[in-house]
Chains A and B, each alone.
Chain A
Amino acid sequence: MENKVNSVCGSCSQYNIKGLKKLGVNISNFDFVVAIAGNPNTGKSTVFNALTGLRQHTGNWPGKTVVRAEGAFEYDGQKFKLVDLPGTYSLLSTSQDEEVARNFILFGKPDVTVIVVDASRLERNLNLVLQILEITNKAVLCLNLMDEANRNNIKIEIRTLARDLGIPVVPTSARFKEGIPELIQTINDVATGKIICKSYRIKNVNGNIDKAIKKLSDEIEKEIPTISNSRWIAFRLLEGDNRIINALRTGELV
């Protein structure tokens, strides 16, 4: 399996980055876990397929990937396991898809979370991005569908965006395999700690609520000093998320 996929891809020039092996579903003894999250219909599965060499079906239609799909690739001698999470608009609601995505990012503690967004609908997609960044700062923004954005005269200042979010931003057109080598390189750099991301915290929270969140997250930090996402935990506690309450009780968050 390994050799076959490798030799097939050896012929395509864009794959010829040094030390890349697409491992398909061949997952064992991986060194890093990479989660792929994003809104529906942003080409998330296409990115997943481009990274793993798999051919999962992707439709122009929200809601294809309901079950969690997994794949892998090897880069620079390190094995990366990829988990394709269901496409969601948000992580704050109660639908099953959102629960799967939310719980994986929080409890699965992926080494890197790749957030795939539609470059021509950045504002809408940032809703999910900012929520994920409250949970983890080990993330890469994959600015996908750049071809569509260019066609519609939408320009994005990559560096400004990266600075504002505190995470690396990689423009791609996964359908045409553009930007994938850079994406892999960046995933590797974040996973191995070559790139250190900053934490982003949502600013526009209404005064009263902000105070409550501050109070609660201070308490949480006092109890669990190692925690990096106490604010997110506070959000969820205020929403009455039973999964989080249980996790606190069982010590799963330490």
Chain B
Amino acid sequence: MSQKSIEKIIALSSDLRWQIGDDFHDNLAEGIYADASEIAKNSVISNNKKKRFRLDTKIDKIVTSKTWGFPIMFLILGVILWITIEGANYPSSMLANLLLNNFHPILKTLAASIGMPWWLDGFLIDGVYLAVAWVIAVMLPPMAIFFPLFTLLEDFGYLPRVAFNLDYLFKKSGAHGKQALTMSMGFGCNAAGVVATRIIDSPRERLIAIITNNFSLCNGRWPTQILIATIFIGAVVPASFSGIASLSAVIGIAILGIFFTFFVSWALSKTVLKGEVSTFNLELPPYRPPRFWKTVYTSLIDRTIIVLWRAIFFAAPAGAVIWLISNIYIGDLSIASWTINSLDGFGFLLGLNGVILLAYIVAIPANEIVIPTILMLTVMATGIAGGEGVGVMFELDSASETATILKAGGWTLLTAVNLMLFSLLHNPCSTTIYTIYKETKSVKWTVVASLLPVIMGFVITFLIAQIWRIVV
């Protein structure tokens, strides 16, 4: 086989292609299907021509109907979220109690009994162990409830209908109907939401879904929102309304997140992503009864455990860093104090403070540890009584004690509002960033997805802070 004759073949193919014209692909595709239908005609005997299966048609008529389509959808998604939040409460506090209140002191005693030096004990048990324990306690229960439920719906075949119902709205913002599902998945966990974008087979719409997934308030951020809303928003209104006021504030933030999803999707599709290929097709598969235990098992293995494992992998070093920056001194001040002081000015411009910014920097690996870190740093920076010691994250059982500490740290209603906004609009956690990189294989889109929300967060909190100060 000579190189020359190979080149001749290639040249021949170019020439032939030009002679055949542009319909080659169409003709080939038609030819294959013509063969396919001849073969199928020979061997398939069907008593049930044309129409799809009757039960499927009946279900479809209801779940995509003008009247019932949307109510059924919101009801199902609402119930899933409610079961997740309500159902996770108990196991979460049990886990927290076990890992933080019982196990942590036992470990400390153990360390003391074998004569572990204080710095190693602090670094490992107060730093690494606490961060990991926190992440597990906050993250595991909701994910272990949310993902199996979602996967059951997926296996049944309902989710494609949701995409079908909502596609028109997503199309308006340049996105794909299936983004409704990756967005919902993001309410559980952004990293899982990013992985789920694989179902979107159009390159442009998939990137949009990946980049905007962070605007879905993930379950690592719900507790922060609820706590801050309870303390500060609930306090603005009369006591009897405080529950409703704080709940509406949290839901308002989540809805604002959905609004940003649409807005940013639209902006991306009109600017940086307009060159990416965009296609649409959505197969509505037949309904199949899910096999309950198998689904629960695979969703736990494939989604929950993998995400949890990655989160732990990233949280452990974060815990170590938190302990280290609080315990290593440069001159009179710890690294943490230095950083807080230098971030205070910028924090003030944003209506936040240095403690919050530092907490968000060290808590990039896991949003779950933001509040414990803020509390620890506030106690350290203000020097008030309370807390568990330098570099030891903690949380308090009662909201009012937490409020006392935060107010001592100089927090106002503005700080609270901006913290809630910043919690929505900041860079994705490192698990998500890593997942985005793995899914896109592109540094560029990973950087865009990481920086875009945090820049938006800076701009919006900045604007609110200035206007607030002018008006109030």
Contacts and interface: CB of A to CB of B under 8 A. Distances in A.
Whether A and B touch directly in their complex, counting CB atoms under 8 A apart, is answered as: yes
Interface of A: 40-41, 55-64, 66, 90, 92, 95, 97, 122-124, 126-127, 129-131, 148, 151-158, 160-161, 164-165, 175, 202-206, 208-209, 212, 215-216, 219-220, 223-224, 234-235, 237-240, 245, 248-249, 251, 254
Given A61-B159, A63-B201, A92 B20 contact: no
B13 A238 contact: yes
Contacts of B27: 205-206, 209
Contacts of B160: 61
B20 A61 contact: no
Given A127-B32, A165-B39, A154 B199 contact: no
B48 A175 contact: no
Interface in B286-345: 286-288, 290-291, 294, 297-299, 301-303
B12 A60 contact: no
B43 A220 contact: no
B9 A203 contact: no
Contacts of A123: 33, 36-37, 39-40, 44
The list of the 9 closest CB pairs from A to B, nearest first, reads A126-B36, A123-B40, A204-B34, A237-B13, A57-B302, A161-B43, A153-B47, A204-B31, A160-B43
Interface stretch (B133-141, B149-157, B251-259): B149-157
A216 B16 contact: yes
A146 to B, nearest CB: 13
A66 B440 CA distance: 12
B409 to A, nearest CB: 45
A238 B33 CA distance: 19
B9 A248 contact: yes
Residue in A61, A123, A155, A234 whose Cβ sees the most chain B Cβ within 10 Å: A61
Contacts of A220: 9
B1 A251 contact: yes
Contact of A156 (B31, B44, B285, B291): B44
B398 interface: no
Contacts of A219: 8-9, 12
A55 B43 contact: no
B6 A223 contact: yes
A153 B290 CA distance: 22
Given A161-B39, A239-B24, A60 B288 contact: yes
B201 A130 contact: no
Interface residues of B, number: 62
B3 interface: yes
Contact of B13 (A157, A209, A216): A216
11 contacts: A55-B301, A61-B285, A63-B198, A152-B46, A152-B48, A156-B45, A157-B44, A205-B27, A223-B5, A237-B10, A249-B3
A206 B31 contact: yes
A212 B13 CA distance: 9
B283 interface: yes
B32 to A, nearest CB: 5
A95 B201 contact: yes
A203 B38 CA distance: 10
B291 A175 contact: yes
Contacts of A155: 44-46
Nearest to B17: A238
B39 A40 contact: no
A249 B13 CA distance: 14
Contacts of A205: 27-28, 31
B31 A164 contact: no
B458 to A, nearest CB: 34
B32 A238 contact: no
Contact of A130 (B1, B35, B154): B35
Residue in A60, A92, A220, A249 whose Cβ sees the most chain B Cβ within 10 Å: A60
A190 to B, nearest CB: 20
Contacts of B470: none
B54 to A, nearest CB: 9
Given A152-B48, A165-B39, A208-B20, A202 B285 contact: no
A57 B39 contact: no
A254 B6 CA distance: 12
